[in-house]
Amino acid sequence: MGFREDPQGGQLNTMLDAMEVPSHSRQLLLQLNSQRTKGFLCDVIIVVQNALFRAHKNILAASSVYLKSLVVHDNLINLDHEMVSPSIFRIILDFIYTGRLGDAEPASEPLFGAVLAAASYLQIADLVSLCKKKLKRNGKYCHVRTSGYPGFGSLGRGLRATTPVIQSCFNSTPRPVDIPPGEPVNPLNTHCGELYASIAQGNQLHQHGLCPPERHCSPLCGLDLSKKSPNRPSNQHHSDATESREPPMPGRPDSPPVSASLLTNNGSYKDQTHGYPKLDSSSTPPAPHPEPFRNSVSNSHLRTDSRDLMFDWMKPEPLGNYVDESDREKDMDREEKGESSPLSQQPRYPSIESNEPDDDKSTSEETGSSGDPSPSSNLERYHCNHLYDPESYGDNLYVCIPCGKGFPSSEQLNAHVEAHNEEELYHKDSMEPPVPFLDKTSQSLGDIIRPYRCSSCEKSYKDPATLRQHEKTHWLTRPYPCSICGKKFTQRGTMTRHMRSHLGLKPFACDACGMRFTRQYRLTEHMRIHSGEKPYECQVCGGKFAQQRNLISHMKMHTTGPDGKPKLDFPDSVYAMAKFTADHLGLKQEKAAEILSQTSHFLNDPKTIESLYPLAKFTAEQFGLTQEKAAEVLTQSQHLGSDSRIIERFSSP
């Protein structure tokens, strides 16, 4: 491996030679490789054509000068697939993490040539030397050029990569052509180090069937970041294996030409996510609602594995390096099933103090010095015993402020903080379970409809789960960090959506122009361009817009003068009502005014209840409220006063 560039390499080599535990480096490498295969602490994604590999920046940087230069600046790096194919890179990655080139058979020369060329490209000197040695041993070595080997870009016969081929786990998936029929592909070995995805840059090429439909694999590998484009008929599958290339997508002039492909790059993402092999359209007719995982009965055991792996990657893991990975995985599996586990009885974090309270409650209770198992007392102990003192933490420089616990990495701190926040919330809940707001003296209809009030702000919610979700927005540390860039989110869904943008996954495709979107809502919005529909009309000037947000920005023109101060284009009555509506619904007054301005023509005759019916109906539609709620808003506005008859009238459609 490429440690030789280290300026202190000589000194380091001396230290390594004098290693007191000879197996240390081997154990370290085994651990790292194990972590890689599980995606654990991986901090970089390498995109090779349409395959994604996860790895550790440090390892790549230590092994390859070229990769080092890439990973310094990015968490997501692209490799030129003309220089290194996914299958070759898989071999190289295996080499980096194992120091082995696999079990070669006599007929491996083309493969070694391809690996040699790619290793040269990636500047992995040791691997270059190893390939040359193997080629020379077989008398085949001559100066290899990148295009000189027929086997280049393919996994050659006779070499078994320890990084398995992910699509092999599905019986229905076409076998990669670069794996000879006789070559066993161990599906159980499938791991999370390799993903396949649609890459935004347009290089989602599917060459020789190497890459399976995304839906096949991305769920296996941690996050199901794919979505189905719901409004694209499934009969548009590009099932013809010989289908010729498609033109670049509009707006993507840089899309590379499509090589011979089993799948097309411009097929709706849904096409690739349905989980149907595209080898023979006649034998595998598309189903109306295909569910690739559920309908693959023969692979049920694999699905279980894949879910484990998904969890393994998703969950910010507390790190206990001394815990065997496989045991830990089983442990997490048990946790998923709600079972107690042997491991959960052990401290998961390396303690920095002998009396370190552990996150694990049972352990805390067993070891707690106070003898008081109550969560609150544990928290107090945290505060009492762990005042921040950097020197006392040694290498654990990442310190959780609330409890003072130190961790050696930000990832471990993040994992801890999430548990911490959950724990505190739990404790808070246990002391103050969210109870509906039931103060009869000042109870309004709003309190009845939204009885769960946030203790930190004035917002209220219909159910405790939503309140709980909202309360996370008040936490100092957001509990869901992006594993690629580290950005933190208050909701897991937001984080996974964010991840899609990293990976360029745009599952929602426009039938008309091929444009792709990360969200269904965007596609719906976009489709109005093609339909010409402009449902958002400015009640001030009559301008129409296809997108609501553009109407909003347009309204700013009406509401804001050149000096930036508010401009009164609305009737005063609308403003008064808008203020109430904004206060009541948590909207900005401007937004409320904008919507109410569209209802203002209903205000001509506010004296009769019947005339208010369409107003309430409209308001309900606009705000997504029930008509009762809309009526409540209207009746409480300054203009109308409270009138129970109105609420009564609107309580039934």
**Closest separation between CB of residue 592 and DNA, Å?**
8
Please spell the DSSP secondary structure of 26-45, one letter per residue: HHHHHHHHHHHHHTTT--EE
Which residues between 38 and 77 bind DNA (CB under 7 A)? none
Query: One symbol per residue from 500 to 519: x for binding DNA (CB under 7 A), - otherwise; what is it?
Result: -x----x--------x-xxx
User: Is 553 an interacting residue with respect to DNA (CB under 7 A)?
Assistant: yes
- Report if residue 445 touches DNA, rule: CB under 7 A: no
Q: What's 461's DSSP letter?
A: E
- For the bound state, the minimum distance from the C-beta of residue 118 to DNA, rounded and expressed in Å, comes to 30
483 touches DNA (CB under 7 A): no
Told to check if 491 binds DNA by CB under 7 A, we report yes
Binder among 100, 133, 136, 487 for DNA (CB under 7 A): 487
525 binds DNA (CB under 7 A): yes
Q: Single out the residue of 496, 573, 600, 626 in contact with DNA (rule: CB under 7 A).
A: 496
Q: Which is nearer to DNA, 157 or 428 (CB)?
A: 428
| Rounded CA separation 541/113 (Å) | 70
Count of alpha carbons within 13 angstroms of residue 521, beta-carbon side: 4
- Which secondary structure element, helix H or strand E, spans residue 61, and what is its range? helix 57-63
- Kindly tell me which of 251 and 394 has the beta carbon lying closer to DNA: 251
DSSP 3-state of 509: strand
268 touches 229 (CB < 8 A)? yes
The phi-psi region of residue 288 (left if phi > 0; otherwise alpha if psi is between -120 and 50; otherwise beta) is alpha
CB 400 within 8 A of CB 417: yes
- Of 289 and 645, CB closest to DNA: 289
Minimum distance from residue 469 beta carbon to DNA (Å): 5
462 binds DNA (CB under 7 A): yes
Residues 6 or more apart whose Cβ sits within 8 Å of residue 637: 576, 577, 580, 581
For position 587 contacting DNA by CB under 7 A, the verdict is: yes
134: contact with DNA by CB under 7 A? no
Among residues 185 and 529, whose Cβ is nearest to DNA? 529
- Options 132-140, 389-397, 551-559, 640-648: segment touching DNA (CB under 7 A): 551-559
CA pair distance 300, 113, nearest whole angstrom: 39
What is the distance of C-alpha 402 from the center of its chain?
A: 28
Name which position in 53, 89, 149, 545 contacts DNA (CB under 7 A).
545
Half-sphere exposure of 93 (CA within 13 A, CB side): 30
Q: Is 175 one of the binding residues for DNA (CB under 7 A)?
A: no
Q: Which long-range contacts (CB under 8 A, 24 or more apart) does 526-531 make?
A: none
State the virtual CA torsion across 196, 201, 202, 203 in degrees, nearest 10: -50
Residue 106: exposure state from Cβ atoms within 10 A (0-12, 13-18, ≥19): exposed
Quick check: 591 binds DNA (CB under 7 A)? yes
Binding status of residue 136 toward DNA by CB under 7 A? no
From the CB of 506, what's the least distance to DNA, in Å? Answer: 7
Q: Is 452 helix (H, G, I), strand (E, B) or coil?
A: strand
- Contact window for DNA (CB under 7 A) among 240-248, 343-351, 353-361, 455-463: 455-463
The verdict on 294 binding DNA (CB under 7 A) reads: no
Span from 40-48, 205-213, 358-366, 495-503 in contact with DNA (CB under 7 A): 495-503
Per CB under 7 A, the segment of 38-46, 203-211, 339-347, 496-504 that binds DNA is 496-504
Binding segment toward DNA, per CB under 7 A, in 63-71, 201-209, 439-447, 467-475: 467-475
Question: What DSSP designation does 335 have?
Answer: H
Q: How far apart are CA 368 and CA 381, in angstroms?
A: 9
- Residues in contact with DNA by CB under 7 A are 224, 227, 450, 459, 461-462, 465-466, 469-470, 473, 487, 489-494, 496-498, 501, 506, 515, 517-522, 524-526, 528-529, 543, 545-550, 552-554, 557, 586-588, 591, 624
